[in-house]
Structure 1
Amino acid sequence: MNGIDISSYQTGINLEKVPGDFVIIKATEGTNYVNPACNDQYMSAKKSGKKIGLYHFASTGSTAEEQANYFVDNVKNYLIEDHSLAFLDWEAQAVTMGANWAKTFLDTVSKRISATPMIYMSKSITNAFDWTNVSKTYALWGAQYATMAPQLGYNKKPWSDDNMWGAWGTPSIFQYSSSGKLSGWDGPLDLNMAYFDRKTWDKFTNLNK
């Protein structure tokens, strides 16, 4: 499946006009930020018929439990009632907090929504820490770019180097560009490929188990 991920930078996007099978939307960051465009983007995604994910951008300054609960408290209806897929965005300064912090966040979210979230990180981070205890339960949304040049449309065979993705071996979703160009939106978009189908997406959200 092909898809994009978006944040407040894509405020006003009409997801009925942008091609793709899924969209992953930034919902929260830390314990004091909610994407002001999240609700409109979610409703646009729902109207488009795309599979939907919501992510939390981890930050320093508060515990894993506090951030997990803040994330769920703000979008629990989307995650539980609408069966959207939950993600932890693990990059920037957050990586200094270590794999155990990330696992605690994922465990907390999983318990609250009775579903299995995923974790996002760059390929370099998958190999910089021991993710064995995380990879046993939580699938990887991994990122690596061949180029920063504009990517016109989705790529059926996106490039990745020959290195393994740490404890995961391979990602379940691959973000291969941050400069994608798709019809229906004038600005750059993150392009992704999910190596599974819509039914498997539903299984991650505890739908139809």
Structure 2
Amino acid sequence: MPSYRSGPTRRRRGLATLIGTFVSALAVLLALPGAATAAPPGPGTAPAQQSPSEAPLKPGEAWMGAGVQQHEGDDTSGKPPGERARLAATVEGVDVSSHQGNVNWKGLWDSGVRWAYVKATEGTSYKNPYFAQQYNGSYNIGMIRGAYHFATPNSSSGATQANYFASNGGGWSKDGKTLPGVLDIEYNPYGATCYGLSQSAMVNWIKDFTSTYKARTGRDAVIYTTTNWWTQCTGNSSSFGNTNPLWIARYASSPGTLPAGWGFYTFWQYTSSGPIVGDHNVFNGAMDRLRALANG
């Protein structure tokens, strides 16, 4: 004859079996393809900026500093650089590309950002689809802004790319709010570090670009690079220090040793992880000197 505990025991066992079955079914559902996929981004949302180590980049997807963190590291974690506090005067700025999409320029302005550089072109076949919003939006909020070109020296001549840049957003006008264009010449995110060029061929390519850009706009292009890349790929050429402002990229507490020919930097990209959007930088001087650079 069963004891008085038999009924409750069977009920508890039945409940445990039911719960186990439910959990197993839920696990199967969660394992189905797409079951745990996040909601798609809203209309107009740009892809998140991607580290070069995450996936191979496609032509046009490079940004200013695309290979810097991968090759040289980043020990700032978005914190203001130590040297910045020691400088007499600096002006905070950002650089952006299509990876940032439609930028919240008011938020950046409210955070203290006063200048911006926007990617315009890459090679001779890519134009930033967000260029108008970024370039005009920064201007309209009150920033001094400029455009940059991501160089691919293995795809066409320096002159060809300079003309493409100048004709597609990289021009200059003396309005006090437009900075000279930037030649972004750095680690190749698509292949061989120096794009398959010898050191002398790279120097000649850069000369071809900068001389053509000056002929088109009347301004000497700013050169964005890192000391390590410049040394490796140009033989640490000193040919540009007297003419082209330097934008040094180094994600550390100081910009470190500069490439040959430059006694000081004009811009310093000190982190790839800005607090709001884009890479963050400082201009080496006060606001009146930044306006002077814009005016030529």
Give the alignment's TM-score, normalised by structure 1: 0.82
Distance 1:13 1:164 in 2: 31
Q: Partner letter of residue 44 of structure 1?
A: G
> Structure 1 residue 168 and structure 2 residue 262: aligned?
yes
Amino acid in structure 2 at the alignment position of 1:43: N
The 8 Å contact of residues 79 and 86 in structure 1, kept in 2 or not, is answered as yes
Counterpart of 2:230 (choices 122, 126, 133) is 126
Tell me the percent identity: 30
TM-score (norm 2): 0.59
**Given that residues 249 and 255 in structure 2 are in contact (C-alpha distance below 8 angstroms), is that contact kept between their aligned partners in structure 1?**
no
Equivalent residue number for residue 64 of structure 1: 158
Shift of residue 81, structure 1, vs aligned partner: 6.1
User: What does the per-residue CA deviation read over 1:181-208, in whole Å, with 9 as the maximum and x for residues that have no partner?
Assistant: 13xx5xxx21101102344334434x2x
Q: Which structure has the greater CA radius of gyration?
A: 2
Residue 5 of structure 1 pairs with residue 111 of structure 2: no
Is 1:194 aligned with 2:289?
A: no
3-state secondary structure, aligned to 2:93: strand
Which of residues 20, 23, 33 is equivalent to 2:116?
A: 23
CA 1:160–1:71 in 2, change beyond 3 Å: closer, same or farther? Answer: closer
AA partner of residue 28 (structure 1): T
Separation in structure 1 between the aligned mates of residue 168 and residue 174 of structure 2, nearest angstrom: 13
Name the counterpart of 1:149. none
CA deviation map 1:105-157 (0-9, x unaligned):
111111111122200001212333232111121011010112xxxxxxxxxxx
Q: How many residues align?
A: 189
- Residue 135 of structure 1 corresponds to which residue in structure 2? 241
Work out the CA distance in 2 between the residues paired with 1:131 and 1:25: 27
Mark the CA change 1:41 to 1:52 in structure 2 (over 3 Å): closer, same or farther.
same
Structure 2 gap segments, 5+ residues each:
1-90
CA distance in 2 between counterparts of 1:29 and 1:116 reads 19
Shift of 1:64: 0.6
Question: Could you tell me whether the CA contact under 8 Å between 1:145 and 1:176 is conserved in 2?
Answer: yes
Cα RMSD, aligned residues only = 2.0
**1:200 and 1:111, CA in 2 relative to 1: closer, same or farther beyond 3 A?**
farther
